[in-house]
């Protein structure tokens, strides 16, 4: 099992395609999540441009049977590099482009099954347009029957011995042969070695396997998936003497304040976590660690501002935020509007998109005894209509 992430294709962003992605996550994670979840999949390699192995490796932490491997100058070099890291006991190898992020699991499963049965199988689509073979001076030489034409995508699955044999043959004896994918390479090998006795069959691909090649493809990829996301945030901090009390970016007169590494504004923290959660960008502890001296005494209003920027960079717009603060004292009702306005300013929304409510804890628990203040928040994000080009 192998994900050939391809390389060299930079889509004008200065970042290899495999390593950029939606929500700040590399593109290759989308098909990888599908492949890693298929029954029988043992593991494999994610081939990335040299220099990106470490960063890719960090993203691969949830997939211990997959490793990041440095690719080569051409596609076949990258596949060869990946093949060297395939699980030795794997009978079938699947090659997939990271630039085709939306992999339907049925297509991957069909490729694996049919590839194992016949020798090779490739996801494909019928040609909607008439196609022509060109000759000298762009003169049309031939118009093949459309019913026999297929557009080839990835995944492409092969018996491991066949794919490895074909690549070895290619590298040792035919390095100048022009091939654009593994189907072309294995087909040339099978023609030169009919005794291998395999064939490559075309199986049903998917329009979702569109390759992210041009800026409009990137915009399409950004729009794929759910249009709305919801997130939940919760935080609690201890109330102590000798600290100012900040809630929602507003300093509230009181004889105690919240204890924490930053200004300990629980409301900003809960809202920031709701935003990060909705965008699947982790949590504030991860982005602003409480043992990092840079965030000592940090204004949580600024952390919230930064989180809202991150959410925007990941392609989301904040539709609404609703929060509730649980505090026995002081009385927060008079500050509700100011807190909503301050947080709206940090997030770049209208105050009407932000609601802050306050309640007591009826004397129960640490909030009720006045030992702590907690906050909960939900955030709704809407996918931006046009994918930002970085
Ligand atoms: Mg906190």
Q: What is the pLDDT of residues 167-203, one digit of tens each?
A: 999 999 988 888 889 999 999 999 999 999 899 999 9
Comparison of pLDDT for 263 and 17, the residue scoring more: 263
Q: What share of the chain is helix, strand, coil (3-state, %, to 5)?
A: 35, 25, 35
- Give me ligand 1 centre to Cα 266, in Å: 5
| Cα 381 to ligand 1 centre (Å) | 22
Please tell me what DSSP assigns to residue 271: H
- Work out the angle at residue 232's Cα, subtended by the Cα atoms of residues 229 and 234, and round it to the nearest 5 degrees: 165
pLDDT value at 15 more than 60 = no
Residue labelled with tokens 């203040």:
373
**Range(s) of the chain covered by CATH 3.30.1330.50:** 228-383
Rounded to the nearest angstrom, the distance between the alpha carbon of 306 and the centre of ligand 1 is: 15
- Give bridge partners of residue 228 from the DSSP assignment: 382
CA 16, distance to chain mean position in Å, is 14
Spacing, Cα 214 to ligand 1 middle (Å): 42
Residue 206 burial (CB count, 10 A): 16
Containing H/E element for 123?
A: strand 119-126
Separation of 235 CA from ligand 1 center, angstroms? Answer: 5
Looking at every residue in the chain, the average pLDDT score rounds to 90
Which residue in this structure is represented by tokens 């009919």? 194
What gap in Å lies between CA 318 and CA 44, rounded to an integer? 38
Q: Does domain 228-383 have CATH number 3.30.1330.50?
A: yes
> What's the CA-to-centroid distance between 282 and ligand 1, angstroms?
14
Q: What is the 3-state secondary structure (H, E, C) of 148-214?
A: HCEEEEEEEEEEHHHHHHHHHHHHHHCCCCCCCCHHHHHHHHHHHCHHHCCEEEEEECCHHHCCCCC
Nearest to 7 by CA among 100, 76, 93, 73: 73
Tokens of 110: 């069909």
For 105-134, give one letter per residue: b (16+ CB within 10 A) or e. eebbbbbbebbbebbbbbbbbeeeeeeeee
Dist. CA 269 → ligand 1 center (Å) = 5
Give the mean pLDDT of 253-269: 96
| pLDDT recorded at residue 245 | 97
60 CA to middle of ligand 1, Å? 28
Q: Which helix (H) or strand (E) holds 230?
A: strand 228-241
In the predicted structure, residue 140 carries a pLDDT above the cut 50: yes
28 touches 53 (CB < 8 A): no
Looking at residue 389, what is its pLDDT? 41
Span from the CA of 24 to the centroid of ligand 1 (angstroms):
23
Rounded to the nearest angstrom, the distance between the alpha carbon of 288 and the centre of ligand 1 is: 10
CA 383 to ligand 1 centroid distance, Å: 27
Name which of 88, 11, 10 is nearest 49 in CA terms. Answer: 10
* pLDDT > 90? residue 67: yes
Residue 27 CA to residue 7 CA, distance in Å, equals 12
Element (H, E) at 140: strand 140-142
Q: Closest by alpha carbon to 191, among 156, 166, 164?
A: 166
What is the SS3 assignment for 85?
Answer: coil
pLDDT digits (tens, 9 = 90+) for 205-230: 999 999 888 878 887 887 777 789 99
Q: How far is the CA of 379 from the centre of ligand 1 (A)?
A: 17
What CATH architecture does domain 2-224 belong to? Alpha-Beta Complex (3.90)
- The answer to whether 117 touches 45, Cβ cutoff 8 Å, is no
pLDDT at 284: 93
Which part of the chain is CATH 3.90.550.10?
2-224
In the chain, count H helices and then E strands. Answer: 12, 16
Q: How many C-beta atoms lie closer than 10 Å to residue 135's C-beta?
A: 10
Cα angle, residue 141 at apex, residues 139 and 146 outer, rounded to 5°: 120
For range 242-256, the mean pLDDT: 97
Going from the Cα of 276 to the center of ligand 1, the distance in angstroms, rounded, reads 14
- What angle separates helix 105-118 from helix 29-36, to the nearest 10 degrees? 60
Which ranges constitute the DSSP H helices of 21-104? Answer: 29-36, 53-59, 75-83
Residue 11 pLDDT more than 80? Answer: no
Rounded Cα distance between 116 and 160, Å, is: 9
What is the average pLDDT across 297-301? 90
Q: What is the pLDDT of residue 23?
A: 60
3-state class of 321 per DSSP? strand
């Amino acid at each position: 099992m192998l994900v050939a992430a391809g390389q060299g294709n930079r889509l004008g962003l200065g970042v290899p395609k495999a390593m950029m992605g939606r929500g700040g996550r590399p593109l290759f994670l989308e098909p990888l999540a599908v492949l890693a979840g298929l029954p029988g999949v043992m593991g494999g390699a994610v081939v990335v441009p040299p220099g990106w192995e470490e960063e890719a490796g960090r993203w691969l932490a949830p997939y211990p049977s997959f490793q990041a491997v440095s690719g080569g100058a051409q596609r076949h070099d990258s596949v060869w590099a990946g093949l060297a890291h395939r699980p030795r006991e794997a009978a079938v190898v699947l090659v997939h482009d990271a630039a085709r992020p939306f992999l339907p699991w049925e297509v991957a499963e069909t490729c694996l099954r049919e590839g194992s049965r016949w020798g090779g199988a490739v996801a494909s689509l019928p040609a909607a347009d008439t196609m022509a073979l060109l000759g000298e001076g762009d003169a049309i030489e031939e118009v093949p029957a459309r019913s026999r034409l297929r557009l080839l995508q990835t995944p492409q699955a092969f018996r491991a011995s066949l794919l490895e044999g074909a690549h070895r043959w290619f590298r040792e004896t035919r390095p100048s042969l022009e091939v654009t994918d593994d189907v072309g390479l294995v087909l040339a090998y099978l023609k030169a070695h009919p005794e291998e006795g395999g064939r490559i069959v075309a199986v049903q691909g998917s329009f979702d396997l569109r390759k992210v090649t041009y800026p409009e493809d990137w915009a399409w990829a950004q729009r794929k998936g759910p249009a709305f996301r919801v997130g939940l945030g919760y935080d609690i901090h201890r109330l102590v003497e000798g600290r100012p009390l900040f809630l929602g970016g507003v300093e509230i007169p009181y004889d105690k304040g919240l204890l924490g590494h930053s200004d300990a504004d629980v409301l900003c923290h809960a809202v920031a976590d709701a935003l990060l959660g909705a965008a699947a960008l982790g949590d504030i502890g991860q982005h602003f660690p409480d043992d990092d001296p840079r965030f000592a005494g940090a204004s949580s209003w600024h952390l919230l501002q930064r989180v809202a920027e991150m959410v925007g960079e990941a392609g989301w717009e904040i539709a609404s935020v609703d929060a509730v603060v649980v505090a026995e004292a002081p009385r927060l009702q008079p500050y509700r509007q100011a807190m909503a306005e301050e947080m709206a300013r940090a997030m770049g929304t209208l105050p009407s998109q932000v609601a802050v409510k306050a309640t007591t804890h009826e004397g129960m628990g640490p909030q009720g005894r006045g030992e702590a203040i907690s906050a909960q928040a939900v955030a709704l994000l809407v996918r931006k209509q046009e994918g930002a080009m970085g």
